Amino acid sequence: MEGSDSGVHFLNLSYFFRILYETVFGVGNPGSAFSGFLEFLGNLWLLLTVLAVLISMAAIGVLVYSTTRLFQVRQEDAPLYATISQYEEHERLESSRWAYIKELISGTNEASWRQAIIEADIILDELLTRLGYVGDSVGEKLRQVSPAQFQTLNNAWEAHRVRNQIAHEGSSFELTDRLAYRTIANYEAVFREHEEL
């Protein structure tokens, strides 16, 4: 006999895969430690899945609430941040500036009255510029105004003269409360004629 070989001459892969499968999934060997470990992992996975679903539902609830609340807040704040026309902006600005002037003139000291008159003259200068009059000073602009177009031209001149006395004579010019109130009343008449207030 030519070399008596007694042994297995083939490899049975099915057998090895069956052993591996039984080891991993505990088939045929219910008490194995690995089988218990796989069962533990299965339970852990189930627990994590349930927790993930609950957390996701809570997150979706928070997201829906936050989005709804954000929409409500934007609706409430919309008027505060709405774009206003240039005319409305000018009206609001002039109204607040005039309120500041009225507050100054209602004060009890001469410095406040002087400041009120100077502020009112600045508004008069801006008004004349908007009406198309050009010049380096309020006086130059007022010289171009026709009394037919500007019914309160005399009021403007009288008020501006007081402002000039305040500016040029300084503290030597005595500003009485009566003169201060009359000057602001003159400015107010001009502004009302041209719908500045």
What does the radius of gyration of the chain's CA atoms come to, in whole angstroms? 46
**Six-digit token pair at 96?**
């607040």
Work out the number of other CB atoms within 10 angstroms of the CB of residue 45. Answer: 10
Of 145, 183, 141, the closest CA to residue 161 belongs to 183
Cβ distance 175 to 110 under 8 Å? Answer: yes
Residue 83: C-alpha distances to residues 86, 94, 99 (Å): 9, 18, 23
Q: Return the CATH number of the domain spanning residue range 86-193.
A: 1.20.120
pLDDT per residue of the chain (197 residues) written in tens, 0 to 9: 455 556 656 677 787 777 767 666 655 555 555 566 667 777 888 889 999 999 999 999 999 999 999 999 998 888 877 776 776 666 666 678 888 888 889 888 899 999 999 999 999 998 899 888 898 999 999 999 888 888 998 999 999 999 999 999 888 888 898 999 999 999 999 988 887 65
- All CATH 1.20.120 domain ranges of the chain, comma separated, are 86-193
Residue position matching structure tokens 């009890």: 108
pLDDT value, residue 28: 55
pLDDT at 60: 96
- Please tell me whether the overall predicted TM-score, pTM, comes out greater than 0.85 for this model: no
The H or E element that residue 159 is part of is helix 153-169
Separation of alpha carbons 92 and 89, rounded Å: 5
Cβ-contact 120, 159 below 8 angstroms: yes
Angle at 181 between CA 177 and CA 183, to 5 degrees: 115
